[in-house]
Amino acid sequence: MKRFLVVLTLVLISSVAFAAGNAEKQGSQQVGLNIAIITTPSGVDDGSFNEDNYDGILAFIANHPEAKVTAIREPSGDVAMALKAVSDVVAEYDVLVCTGFQFSGIGELAKENPETKFILVDTYPTDKAGNSIELPNVYAMQFAEQESGFFAGVAAALETKTNKVAVVNGVAYPSNVNYQYGFECGVIYSNAKFGTKAELVELASQAGTDVTGANVGGNYVGSFADEASGKILGEQLLAQGCDIIFVAAGASGNGVFTAAKESNGKLKCIGCDVDQWNDGVYGDKNIILSSVLKVMSLNVERALNKIQDGTFKGANVLLRADSDSTGIVKTAGRQQMQASTIEKLDTAYSLVKNGTLVPASNFGGFSPEQFIVK
């Protein structure tokens, strides 16, 4: 009888322990990261910049279904309003993913909310004086967009039939100017190295003004969410003889795509940030020559994984070709470049990756006009 009571007691203890452990496990499954993504005006379905960041969150949630995400679109694009959008919700979420240069001023807010993790895309956090700072709860990523822009410029110069090419941008934030400057350097490089004769077309009325107030030229819509103006600008460049346009303008770029689709095959586009092949379909044809890449989704997912497993560390990082974070689509069936163009791009990519080729960037110390082809 005594032995029976001992066994029964052990069974009961084990059952209680198992139940407690199982309850704890179920509880941990029910409590996942509560994430918000706060975006530029074009929102998470822009088919480009914001959507790629959102896809990184969705990829994380696919592996951690207990997590959830709320998409918040800041409609104005104004810096002060962007910071207000973050401030309004900072206490409600575990993680805030903020996409775009206008969110750089979250530095003080991040200091005041050390338990909240921030993933900042396309900029580093700044203090009250506007100086870049590094914070333990902020993982901030910038990309060498000038590298991807460079690949677009090389491809455009090699593929143009009219010898007139252009780049259309949204707003002259540093990341967009980087794309522009890189594109210009790519054209210069191709003309010098491969004997192409491509001419860069810029409309003086659409010149951009960067964050320092400097005129950077180019063709700027003035918004990332104005398809109508994007279409008009695309039509104007087509009228100037352009047959290839690199489009780095968010949802405004969809207007350029429309102009290309209505051009009866006269105009092709190079997509930006993500593979935009599907956006280029019209009938049985496609206006996308190729797309340059800024691999945000994978890096956002990586940061969320580190928050989830407790290894997260704040940092300001610059992501380049050497981490496969920039590039151009060369996959068969997702681009329309000649084999000879791809071969030349492969050579250029290796030189950019090892640092031999350094395209101009917004604050890189030299302009495209000063880019030297060795």
In a domain, 226, yes or no: yes
- Same structural domain for residues 54 and 160? no
Q: pLDDT tens digits, the chain, 374 residues: what are they?
A: 444 444 444 444 444 444 444 444 334 445 799 999 999 888 999 888 999 999 999 999 999 999 999 999 999 989 999 999 999 999 999 999 999 999 999 999 999 999 999 999 999 999 999 999 999 999 999 999 999 999 999 999 999 999 999 999 999 999 999 999 999 999 999 999 999 999 999 999 999 999 999 999 999 999 998 999 999 999 999 999 999 999 999 999 999 999 999 999 999 999 999 999 999 999 999 999 999 999 999 999 999 999 999 999 999 999 999 988 999 999 999 999 999 999 999 999 999 999 999 999 999 999 999 999 98
In a domain, 325, yes or no: no
In a domain, 240, yes or no: yes
Split into its structural domains, the chain has a count of: 2
Farthest CA pair distance, the chain: 100
Structure confidence at residue 361 (pLDDT): 97
- Which residues lie below 8 Å from residue 153, measured CB to CB, with a gap of 6+? 165, 182, 183, 184, 185, 186, 187, 188, 189, 190, 246
- Same structural domain for residues 237 and 279? yes
In a domain, 302, yes or no: no
Calpha distance 253→275 (Å, rounded): 14
- Same structural domain for residues 150 and 219? yes
Give the H/E segment covering residue 263: none
In a domain, 312, yes or no: no
CA distances from 264 to 117, 282, 323 (A): 49, 11, 39
Structure confidence at residue 374 (pLDDT): 81
Range of the domain at 345: 145-293+338-370
- Same structural domain for residues 343 and 230? yes
In a domain, 104, yes or no: yes
Q: How far apart are the first and last CA of the chain?
A: 93
- Same structural domain for residues 89 and 153? no
**What pTM value is reported for the model?**
0.82
In a domain, 324, yes or no: no
Residue type present at position 242: C
Q: Tell me which residue has tokens 């707003």.
A: 171
CATH number for position 271? 3.40.50.2300
- Which residues lie below 8 Å from residue 373, measured CB to CB, with a gap of 6+? 188, 189, 192, 193
Q: Tell me which residue has tokens 């575990």.
A: 94
Structure confidence at residue 23 (pLDDT): 40
CA neighbor of 220 nearest in space, from 122, 228, 229, 211:
229
Contact 336, 277 (CB under 8 A): no
Structure confidence at residue 30 (pLDDT): 53
- Which residues lie below 8 Å from residue 155, measured CB to CB, with a gap of 6+? 186, 270, 289, 290, 328, 337, 341, 345
CA neighbor of 371 nearest in space, from 353, 354, 359, 355:
359
Could you tell me the two tokens for 3? 């032995």
In a domain, 253, yes or no: yes
Q: HSE on the CB side for 303, CA within 13 Å?
A: 27
Q: Tell me which residue has tokens 């797309």.
A: 291
Domain final position from 143, 166, 201: 143
Q: Tell me which residue has tokens 């003080």.
A: 108
- Same structural domain for residues 97 and 184? no
- Same structural domain for residues 235 and 192? yes
Calpha distance 152→182 (Å, rounded): 8
Domain final position from 143, 170, 203: 143
Which residue(s) pair with 317 in the sheet? 141
Structure confidence at residue 10 (pLDDT): 41
Structure confidence at residue 9 (pLDDT): 44
Structure confidence at residue 6 (pLDDT): 41
Structure confidence at residue 24 (pLDDT): 41
